[in-house]
Amino acid sequence: MPAPLVVLDTNVLVAAMRSRRGASFRVVEQLGTGAFEIVVSVPLVLEYEDAMLRRRGALSTQQIGDVLDYICAIARRQQIFYLWRPLLRDPKDDMVAEVALAAGAEAVVTHNRRDFLGLEKFGILTYSPQEFLGVIGGGP
């Protein structure tokens, strides 16, 4: 069975960078292992960078840059040719949904599942980090 293709919402990366204890960190820790594949777009990576720099915790600018470089190196890069706006309540969530739709992703991993209501009509699932770990066999 092929590894699921997913989009990580910004809040998952921010949570992972702030604490090594939670499910978000365990999801990010699985990047590049073959457990799943992520897809990004240029606007989404810029959103990741902005949010991570604003909520950096103990990480330096260089460390955040290193994390983003790694994500860009292992992720499938997706160009967006068609905007689905407005689709969700928050325009930043629309950006995540557009990447998922354009790439044919199976799921979005987010802490705010209800913000992505409506994606199921396109066949895209929404998981919390904890739920996603269960899907990929990375924990309960």
pLDDT of residue 77: 97
Q: Which residues pair with 127 in a beta bridge?
A: 109
DSSP bridge partners of 7: 108
Query: What is the distance in angstroms between the CA of the first residue and the CA of the last residue of the chain?
Result: 20
Strands (E), 9-134: 37-40, 76-77, 107-109, 125-127
Structure tokens, 40: 């990004």
CA angle 58, 61, 64 (to 5 degrees): 80
**Whole-prediction pTM:** 0.92
Q: Which residue has the higher pLDDT, 92 or 32?
A: 32
Domains in the chain (CATH in brackets) are 5-136 (3.40.50.1010)
| Predicted confidence (pLDDT) per residue in 83-112, tens digit | 666 778 787 788 899 999 999 999 999 999
For the cut 60, the answer to whether the pLDDT of residue 129 exceeds it is yes
Any idea which of 24-38, 66-80, 87-101 has the lowest mean pLDDT?
87-101
Q: Span 39-53, mean pLDDT?
A: 95
- 37-49 per-residue burial string, b: 16 or more CB within 10 A, e: under 16: bbbbbeebeebbb
Q: Are the CB atoms for 4 and 36 separated by under 8 Å?
A: yes
